[in-house]
């Protein structure tokens, strides 16, 4: 059979377990789209290049596989920048396949130089142009290796469009199995030192990030937490690696207010960036000992000097750490007659976090339970009811600002990967395409004859406005997706910030628009909720619907003012953005 370049690319991608791709329709990909369709891959039709890349990002985060986005050069690449940058900062393995105009059309002094990649160089791990059609599969393999190995991230591969139609004698590298990727184990000496610190700690703390999820560290972390009483906080994609139970496992936004009490902190697959307070006071104690496990050595001792740095795959290193801690415990058991007492003490020591957080958790419960005038809906109550109605294994996608803050206080993640958001870049609006990609991934991952995991997007009315057309992609693909818009009629964070600073607001009012009608216009089912009594039935109907639903929920605007004044409801903190440089690298043991 005659092979086209499009067939070779399709076969090359299929070896990586990819069954869904995301594409902005265009003539440049014609022969590739034809090959993908004939090979049985699902093609989700995106409406904007940035949305396309972010949908591939959502797919990659949920599956752990390579997410693939098809866009064109020239106008398409600038449009895709926000999606690529979001994937880069989230360490998400996305392959952006850019179709370029034919080589013969390239002018020596063209206004846009397609031979270079200046727009994506700083926000991708690797970017190249395929030099000949015969090397298509080889370049796909290199791109996949770069995206999936080490600290994951997006890669960009540009292909002159005539290569997709080219006739090739063979499939090249695509005729062989996909290359294997190795995983780095940890230095045994460092593991032993880390185990000693955890064993001797009075108030130890585990923090799990995206690397813990991507490396499959959940089982080892759960055993460490259970057997040795070590509380754990999940951040970003690391939420749910140990199911959040408000006993020992919490989200980082809740945990962070007591993290300063920890004497030993073990950071697994998370970077010490702003969300983690850079690892510095006031978020952590100056005298606390730090263990950090990261697949990339450059991440170790970022901002704060780490006492035990471990450059290794998070899953392998955490398994080694568990074995070492267990060996220490076994040795102590052999030398001690009071084994039961010590084990009971270990089991109890993780509850220092629960006890320290109890007042805050009780206050959040009281806020959610307090009825508002005219049956209005508090955003925290909205989150609590969502959590009660949807299945426990649901995938939650977070977007927006104020509404995201409230969701951090309301939602518990039970399974990883199970939480996606715009962190750490904070690009408003990407939650919608992330949810589209996650819904496609959930359908693909579901075992035959079983229901797929429910994908629930919680977003604000401001953030919803960025990429609402991506809901059309969900509707056309028949994806099950629940989009809940918390509508306070304004850019809430800015509104209340201005009211606090000026006593009035400027350019922050949006009006209470009917976003459910926007969803209906793109082929989704719409629900409009104005009173609390309407909320639960609307969610139940959305769950029963086999397709996407947009629920427009009018929420109490005054709730946002509380976020500016009451620290007990603040889950997103920015008080350390202007960190004191004198504190960096000054806490070496």
Q: What CATH number is associated with residue 268?
A: 3.40.50.1220
Residues 171 and 195 reside in one and the same domain: no
Residue 275 per-residue DSSP state:
G
Radius of gyration of the chain (CA): 25
Find out whether 576 and 274 touch, Cβ atoms under 8 Å.
yes
Task: For residues 52 and 524, give the distance between their C-alpha atoms in angstroms, rounded to a whole number.
Answer: 19
For residue 225, tell me if it sits in a domain.
Answer: yes
Task: Indicate which CATH number applies to the domain containing 549.
Answer: 3.40.50.970
pLDDT at 586: 59
For residue 577, tell me if it sits in a domain.
Answer: no
Tokens of 365: 């419960």
pLDDT at 208: 98
Residues 392 and 311 reside in one and the same domain: no
Residue 184 per-residue DSSP state:
P
pLDDT at 266: 98
Residue 227 has pLDDT above 70, yes or no: yes
Could you tell me the end-to-end alpha-carbon distance of the chain, in angstroms, rounded to an integer? 66
For residue 223, tell me if it sits in a domain.
Answer: yes
Boundary residue ending a domain (300, 320, 355)? 355
pLDDT at 7: 98
CA nearest 16: which of 143, 125, 116?
A: 143
pLDDT at 346: 72
- Comparing 180-194, 200-214, 339-353, 518-532, the range with the smallest average pLDDT is 339-353
pTM above 0.85, yes or no: yes
Q: Is the dihedral of CA 537, 538, 539, 544 positive or negative?
A: positive
For residue 563, tell me if it sits in a domain.
Answer: no
Residue 490 per-residue DSSP state:
B
Task: For residues 212 and 220, give the distance between their C-alpha atoms in angstroms, rounded to a whole number.
Answer: 10
User: Which structural domain, as residue segments, surrounds residue 133?
Assistant: 3-175
Residues 164 and 195 reside in one and the same domain: no
Residues 261 and 351 reside in one and the same domain: yes
Residue 36 has pLDDT above 90, yes or no: yes
What angle separates helix 402-410 from helix 379-389, to the nearest 10 degrees? 50
Task: For residues 54 and 148, give the distance between their C-alpha atoms in angstroms, rounded to a whole number.
Answer: 17
Quickly state the pLDDT bin for 2 (edges 50, 70, 90): confident
Measured from the Cβ of residue 263, the count of other Cβ atoms closer than 10 Å reads 15
Tokens of 322: 């568990």
Question: If you average pLDDT over residues 65-71, what whole number do you get?
Answer: 98
Residues 48 and 163 reside in one and the same domain: yes
Q: How many domains does the chain have?
A: 3
Residues 256 and 392 reside in one and the same domain: no
Question: If you average pLDDT over residues 248-260, what whole number do you get?
Answer: 93
Boundary residue ending a domain (146, 175, 204)? 175
Question: If you average pLDDT over residues 482-506, what whole number do you get?
Answer: 94
pLDDT at 116: 66
Residues 542 and 394 reside in one and the same domain: yes
Share of the chain above pLDDT 90, in %: 81
pLDDT at 257: 87
Residues 246 and 336 reside in one and the same domain: yes
- Comparing 179-183, 206-210, 387-391, 574-578, the range with the smallest average pLDDT is 574-578
For residue 532, tell me if it sits in a domain.
Answer: yes
CA nearest 392: which of 412, 416, 408?
A: 412
Strand-pair category, 167-168 with 204-208: unpaired
CA nearest 385: which of 553, 181, 558?
A: 553
For residue 82, tell me if it sits in a domain.
Answer: yes
pLDDT at 373: 86
Boundary residue ending a domain (331, 355, 379)? 355
Residue 578 has pLDDT above 80, yes or no: no
Residues 209 and 167 reside in one and the same domain: no
Tell me the helices (H) and strands (E) count for the chain, helix number first.
22, 20
For residue 565, tell me if it sits in a domain.
Answer: no
Task: For residues 391 and 482, give the distance between their C-alpha atoms in angstroms, rounded to a whole number.
Answer: 12
Residues 302 and 380 reside in one and the same domain: no
Question: If you average pLDDT over residues 543-570, what whole number do you get?
Answer: 94
> Torsion angle, CA of 138/139/142/143, rounded to 10 degrees?
-140
- Specify the higher pLDDT residue, 27 or 78: 78
Residues 374 and 481 reside in one and the same domain: yes
Please write the tens of the pLDDT for every residue from 396-443: 999 999 999 999 999 999 999 999 999 888 899 999 999 999 999 999
Task: For residues 574 and 428, give the distance between their C-alpha atoms in angstroms, rounded to a whole number.
Answer: 17
Find out whether 268 and 244 touch, Cβ atoms under 8 Å.
no
Please write the tens of the pLDDT for every residue from 507-523: 999 999 999 999 999 99
Give me the chain's average pLDDT, please: 92
Residues 151 and 202 reside in one and the same domain: no
pLDDT at 588: 46
For residue 333, tell me if it sits in a domain.
Answer: yes
CA nearest 82: which of 112, 57, 104, 116?
A: 57
Please write the tens of the pLDDT for every residue from 130-151: 999 999 999 999 999 999 999 9
Helix residue ranges per DSSP H, 236-313: 252-255
| Torsions phi, psi for 177 (to 5 deg) | -60, 155
């Amino acid at each position: 059979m005659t092979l086209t370049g499009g067939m070779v690319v399709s076969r090359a991608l299929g070896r990586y377990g990819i069954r869904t791709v995301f594409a902005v329709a265009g003539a440049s990909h014609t022969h590739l789209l034809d090959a993908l369709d004939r090979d049985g891959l699902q093609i989700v039709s995106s409406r904007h290049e940035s949305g396309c890349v972010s949908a591939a990002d959502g797919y990659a985060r949920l599956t752990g596989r390579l997410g693939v986005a098809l866009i064109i050069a020239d106008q398409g690449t600038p449009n895709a920048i926000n999606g690529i940058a979001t994937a880069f900062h989230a360490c998400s393995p996305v392959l952006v396949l850019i179709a370029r105009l034919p080589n013969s059309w390239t002018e020596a002094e063209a206004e846009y130089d397609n031979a270079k990649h200046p727009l994506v160089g700083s926000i991708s791990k690797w970017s190249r142009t395929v030099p000949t059609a015969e090397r298509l599969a080889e370049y796909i393999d290199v791109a996949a290796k770069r995206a999936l190995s080490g600290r994951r991230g997006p890669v960009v591969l540009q292909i002159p469009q005539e290569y997709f139609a080219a006739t090739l004698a063979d499939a090249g590298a695509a005729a062989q199995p996909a290359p294997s990727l190795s995983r780095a184990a940890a230095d045994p000496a460092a593991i032993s030192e880390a185990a000693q610190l955890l064993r001797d700690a009075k108030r130890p703390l585990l923090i799990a990030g995206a690397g813990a999820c991507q490396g499959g560290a959940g089982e080892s972390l759960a055993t460490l937490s259970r057997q040795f009483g070590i509380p754990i906080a999940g951040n970003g994609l690391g939420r749910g690696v140990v199911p959040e139970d408000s006993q020992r496992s919490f989200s980082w936004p809740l945990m962070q207010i007591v993290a300063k009490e920890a004497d030993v902190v073990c950071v697994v697959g998370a970077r010490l960036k702003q969300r983690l307070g850079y690892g510095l006071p006031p978020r952590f104690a100056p005298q606390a000992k730090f263990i950090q496990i990261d697949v990339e050595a450059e991440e170790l001792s970022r901002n704060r000097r780490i006492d035990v740095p471990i450059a290794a795959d998070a899953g392998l290193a955490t398994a080694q750490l568990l074995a070492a801690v267990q060996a220490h415990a076994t040795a102590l058991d052999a030398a001690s007659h009071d084994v039961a007492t010590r084990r009971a003490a270990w089991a109890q020591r993780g509850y220092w976090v629960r006890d320290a957080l109890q007042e805050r958790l009780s206050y959040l419960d009281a806020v959610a339970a307090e009825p508002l005038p005219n049956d209005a809906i508090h955003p925290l109550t909205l989150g609590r009811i969502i959590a009660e109605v949807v299945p426990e294994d649901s995938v939650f996608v977070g977007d927006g600002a104020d509404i995201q803050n409230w969701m951090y206080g309301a939602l518990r993640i039970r399974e990883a990967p199970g939480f996606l958001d715009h962190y750490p870049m904070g690009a408003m609006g990407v939650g919608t395409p992330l949810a589209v990609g996650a819904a496609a991934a959930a359908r693909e991952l579901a075992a035959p004859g079983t229901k797929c995991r429910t994908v629930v997007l919680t977003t604000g009315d401001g953030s919803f406005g960025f990429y609402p057309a991506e809901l059309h992609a969900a509707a056309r693909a028949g994806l099950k997706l629940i989009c809940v818009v918390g509508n306070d009629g304004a850019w809430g964070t800015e509104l209340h910030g201005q009211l606090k600073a000026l006593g009035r607001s400027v350019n922050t009012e949006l009006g209470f628009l009917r976003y459910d009608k926007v969803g209906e216009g793109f082929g989704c089912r719409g629900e409009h909720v104005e009173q609390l009594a309407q909320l639960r039935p609307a969610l139940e109907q959305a769950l029963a619907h086999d397709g996407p639903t947009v629920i427009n929920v009018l929420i109490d605007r005054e709730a946002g003012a509380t976020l500016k004044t009451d620290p007990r409801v603040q889950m997103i903190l920015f008080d350390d953005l202007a960190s004191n440089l004198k504190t960096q690298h000054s806490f070496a043991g």
